[in-house]
Amino acid sequence: MALVGTLPRNEDGIASTVGILKQRFGDRLQTGAAIRAQHAHTTTWLPNQPADAVVFASSTEEVSEIVRICADHRTPLIPFGTGTSLEGHLNAPGGGISLDLSHMQKVLEVHAEDLDCRIQPGVTRKQLNTHLRDQGLFFPIDPGADASLGGMAATRASGTNAVRYGTMRDNVIALEAVMADGRAVRTARRARKTSAGYDLTRLLIGSEGTLGIITELTLKLQGIPEAMSSARCSFPSVEAACNAVILSVQMGLPMARIELLDGLQVKACNAYSKLSLPEGPLLLLEFHGSKASVAEQAQTFGEIADDTGGFDFAWSGRAEDRTALWQARHDAYWASIALRPGCKALSTDICVPISQLAACVTAAQMQLEKLDLMAPIVGHAGDGNFHCLLLLDEHNPDDLIKAEHFTHWLADLAHAHDGTCTGEHGIGQGKASYLRAEIGESTDVMAAIKTALDPDNILNPGKILLS
């Protein structure tokens, strides 16, 4: 099992905090082992480090009150949305309180004319999209899991359609957050753009609960496109597939999604979803726009694919065909797991300039083979972001050692290609040791900001920055 840091426990402070919160919140303060373990849930290889108690807040005022109580006793506070983060963000290395925001799940306002909405942080992306559908609107960011939007903002999440719609960084207009002293602040008004002072909205997005606790989000929305088309194309090599991606991006083809599956992933999908795709690199695309434009865009991609060695190109604008074309992607995770039944899956997350994508994917495949690790690869190719899904036997120490070796090696690979160790999962505990190698003394600037805004280090301590 990998090592994670622990922090000194402030036993007296924690005991007092739990007592006060219990008195104030009654049954909304829970200390059972199961719920504490579940709230430190990390869908990764990191050991579970549960908080001492879980408290459920239902309003900004309650979050302020809880933060003040924790601040008074210097008790760590770990915000919790849906528990789908991947790098130990929810662990409590020094104990403390898990602050569950999932009951704060109201959609407060929708401004259809302005394409924006104001929501509480526990609203999940599927809940929001269900709410919006009748108005012809949607929120585009799709990280896979049905995560809470507060959590998605806190980890700067993205997913398959970032190539078109950006990441959480680009889709939040303003935040309300409770700071380490219990004050609730609002970072901006509702205008689409502003030059009014420091960009606190962006500072909080991706801060992983270490600078403030997000209690409200004002989000940009999109109109549901009039039409969509999907396309699929196989390639003789990862390099050929990446060349097609590069040309498409260069000519400004407005792809909503462009996903790369490597040969092993396609093989897994063929077996799992009863498909018969050529078992080599595959690109899957989606286009959003008017009926005419999505047809034109799919066809333009077909021409690009043709020029770069693609084969078995297919596209369609019909909903049922589009689902079939994307079947492999929809089932990719479960198809991978089925390659090694009973395995535990660990997802890596490097992101590099797209000119470096083919070299990095190919190098990763070779390294996986050398280490005898099984790991299908899917990539958000338009962003240069790809995931190796390591399929591990968690009871086999060798597997875990090899996995750790590989993730270190992969971070170094990303850095050697001017990329990042994390495109969308965040640093948490799992990648804290890579941060300085990636951005050098910027790490010290981050630490100075952390100290200024949370001098007692009570907000999600032990994440992002090594203490």
By CB under 8 A, what part of segment 339-378 binds its own copies? 349, 351-355
Residue of 370, 417, 359, 367 lying closest to 388 (CA atoms): 367
255-261 and 184-186 as β-strands: parallel, antiparallel, unpaired? unpaired
Would you call 20 helix, strand, or coil by DSSP? helix
**193 vs 274, beta carbon nearer its own copies:** 193
Is the CB of 79 or the CB of 95 nearer to its own copies?
A: 79
The one segment of 29-37, 99-107, 370-378, 440-448 that binds its own copies by CB under 8 A? 440-448
The distance of closest approach from Cβ of residue 172 to its own copies in the complex, given in angstroms and rounded to an integer, is 11
Residue number with CB closer to its own copies (343 or 421): 421
281 is a site residue for its own copies (CB under 8 A)? no
191 binds its own copies (CB under 8 A): yes
Query: Considering the complex, what minimum distance in angstroms separates the CB of residue 174 from its own copies?
Result: 9
The span from the first CA to the last CA of the chain, in angstroms, equals 21
Task: Report which of 295, 283, 166 is spatially closest to residue 219, judged by C-alpha positions.
Answer: 166
Closer Cβ to its own copies, 21 or 211, answer by number: 211
Task: Say whether residue 3 binds its own copies (CB under 8 A).
Answer: no
Is residue 254 a contact point for its own copies (CB under 8 A)?
A: yes
Size of site (CB under 8 A) for its own copies = 97
Which residues in the 23-82 window bind its own copies by CB under 8 A? none
Cβ-contact 424, 156 below 8 angstroms = yes
Nearer to its own copies, 54 or 381 (CB): 381
Name the minimum Å distance from CB 25 to its own copies: 26
**Closest to 432 in 3D by CA, of 417, 454, 450:** 450
Q: Does 290 bind its own copies (CB under 8 A)?
A: yes
Name the segment binding its own copies (CB under 8 A); options: 99-107, 184-192, 334-342, 392-400.
184-192
Contact range with its own copies by CB under 8 A, out of 12-20, 165-173, 301-309, 369-377: 165-173
Residue 381 lies near its own copies (rule: CB under 8 A): no
Closest separation in Å from C-beta 270 to its own copies: 30
Contacts 24+ apart (CB under 8 A), 366-374: 367/406, 367/409, 367/410, 367/413, 368/406, 371/402, 371/405, 371/406, 372/402, 373/399, 373/402, 373/403, 373/406, 374/264, 374/339, 374/340
Q: Applying CB under 8 A, does 426 fall inside the site for its own copies? A: yes
Among 17, 171, 207, 316, binds its own copies (CB under 8 A): 207
Contact between 198 and its own copies (CB under 8 A)?
yes
Least Cα distance to 12 among 96, 77, 93 occurs for 96
**Dist CA 306 CA 320 (whole Å):** 25
Task: Spell out the long-range contacts of 293-299 with Cβ–Cβ below 8 A and sequence spacing 24 or more.
Answer: 293/227, 294/225, 294/227, 294/228, 294/229, 295/229, 297/229, 297/253, 297/254, 297/255, 298/229, 298/230, 298/231
Which position among 199, 279, 412, 456 is part of the footprint of its own copies (CB under 8 A)?
Answer: 199
Residue closer to its own copies by CB (options 249, 338) is 249
Residue 228 β-bridge partners? 288
**Residue 226 or 306 with smaller CB distance to its own copies:** 226
Sole residue written with tokens 């753009």? 193
As measured in angstroms, the least distance from the Cβ of 49 to its own copies is 21
Q: What would the 3-class secondary structure string for 397-453 be?
A: HHHHHHHHHHHHHHHHHHHHCCCECCCCCCCCCCCHHHHHHHHCCHHHHHHHHHHHH
The residue within the footprint of its own copies, chosen from 1, 15, 185, 466 (CB under 8 A), is 185
Token pair of 365 as six digits: 């495949």
Which of 195, 341, 372, 395 forms a contact with its own copies (CB under 8 A)? 195
Restricting to residues 139-158, which ones interact with its own copies according to CB under 8 A? 155-158
